């Protein structure tokens, strides 16, 4: 899934694809680079952000979706928290509603059911304005899994088609660095469940917590690819990334190599060392 942010303020690419022409050109580039889905967004959900009004979000996204649909069959998802924007986007040709608030807005479940589209239900603690203010969990993996399963069950009960429901642990949405790492280590548990998993970690600031020099989000390509590979190996079905060409290449090579074979003649080889990162920043 290639990220196409038609926003002035997204944390890593804000302003680049704010104009329709530039966004359309980036959409074409993402498809040429190997994207299977284009994720169009008109609201930055970076920590501390404030949403645009609905008219503005519609203005940013709907003409772009129409223009993309006019020239490509590549499925488009709409990255929005607003049922009204999702409705207009599906009317314009979007096939998936990607909702980082996990269909929590009033009327979201009913809208999702009526649209007959795929939905990505992401876990977020609080909202973007406040989510990184001292997030706390008991067991983050259990809590996120339980919350996503409950939300997916609610979507199913509301009438969303079973084969259209995806879940996403929501890296960086109300989580510290330690929480994000716990979730990433447990991706296989998410993937072993009932719902296919989407993972969105590309260029996010938890990478800065591990690689202190990577202040510029554009300098987080290596970390982003590492997470995408970890996600794919754990069984995630979709990775949401900015750098589609590089990630697709890494995924292809990684899939060709496959899982390591046990070493013959060394049945008691010591287990691989696992570095422990001290939980510091979010």
**Collapsing DSSP states into helix, strand and coil, what is residue 21?**
helix
12 is a site residue for ligand HH2 (CB under 6 A): yes
11 forms part of the interface with ligand HH2 (CB under 6 A):
yes
Residue 46 found at the interface with ligand HH2 (CB under 6 A): yes
Q: Name the active-site residue from 46, 204, 233, 245.
A: 204
Task: Out of 23, 30, 79, 108, name the contact with ligand HH2 by CB under 6 A.
Answer: 79
**Binding-residue pattern over the window 203 to 222 for ligand HH2, x denoting contact by CB under 6 A:** --------------------
In a 3-state reduction of DSSP, which class is residue 80?
Answer: coil
DSSP letters of 112-147?
A: HHHHT-EEEEE--SS-TTTTTSS---SSHHHHHHHH
Of 200, 209, 223, 282, the residue at the interface with ligand HH2 (CB under 6 A) is 200
Find the binder of ligand HH2 among 4, 6, 7, 208 (CB under 6 A): 7
Our finding on whether 100 is near ligand HH2 (CB under 6 A) is yes
DSSP letters, 136-194, are --SSHHHHHHHHHHHHHHHHHHHT--GGGEEEE--TTSS--HHHHHHHHHTHHHHHTSS
87 is catalytic: no
Query: Which of the following is catalytic: 60, 82, 87, 240?
Result: 240
Asked if 102 and 151 count as a contact pair (C-beta separation under 8 A), the reply is yes
Is the Cβ–Cβ distance between 26 and 244 less than 8 Å? no
Residue ranges binding ligand HH2 (CB under 6 A): 3, 5, 7, 10-12, 41, 44-46, 79, 98, 100, 120, 122, 168, 170-171, 198, 200, 240
Catalytically annotated residues: 204, 240
């Amino acid at each position: 899934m290639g990220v196409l942010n038609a926003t002035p303020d997204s944390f890593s690419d804000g302003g680049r694809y704010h104009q329709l022409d530039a966004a359309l050109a980036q959409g074409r580039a993402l498809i040429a680079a190997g994207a299977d889905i284009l994720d169009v967004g008109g609201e930055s959900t970076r920590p501390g952000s404030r949403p645009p009004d609905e008219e503005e979000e519609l203005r940013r996204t709907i003409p772009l979706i129409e223009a993309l649909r006019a020239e490509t069959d590549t499925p488009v998802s709409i990255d929005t928290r607003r049922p009204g924007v999702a409705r207009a986007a599906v009317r314009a040709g979007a096939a998936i509603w990607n909702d980082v608030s996990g269909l929590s807005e009033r009327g979201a479940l009913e809208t999702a059911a009526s649209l007959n589209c795929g939905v990505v239900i992401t876990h977020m603690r609080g909202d973007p304005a406040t989510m990184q203010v001292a997030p706390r969990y008991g067991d983050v993996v259990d809590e996120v899994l339980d919350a996503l399963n409950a939300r997916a069950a609610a979507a199913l009960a509301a009438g969303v088609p079973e084969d259209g429901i995806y879940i996403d642990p929501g890296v960086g949405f109300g989580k510290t660095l330690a929480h994000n790492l716990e979730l990433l280590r447990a991706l296989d548990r998410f993937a072993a469940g009932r719902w296919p998993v989407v993972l969105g970690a590309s260029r996010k600031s938890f990478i800065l917590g591990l690689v202190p020099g990577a202040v510029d989000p554009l300098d987080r390509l290596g970390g982003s690819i590492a997470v995408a590979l970890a996600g794919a190996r754990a069984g995630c079905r979709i990775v949401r990334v900015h750098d589609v060409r590089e990630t697709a290449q890494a995924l292809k090579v990684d899939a060709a190599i496959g899982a390591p074979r046990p070493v013959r003649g060394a049945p008691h080889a010591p287990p691989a060392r696992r570095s422990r990162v001290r939980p510091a920043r979010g």
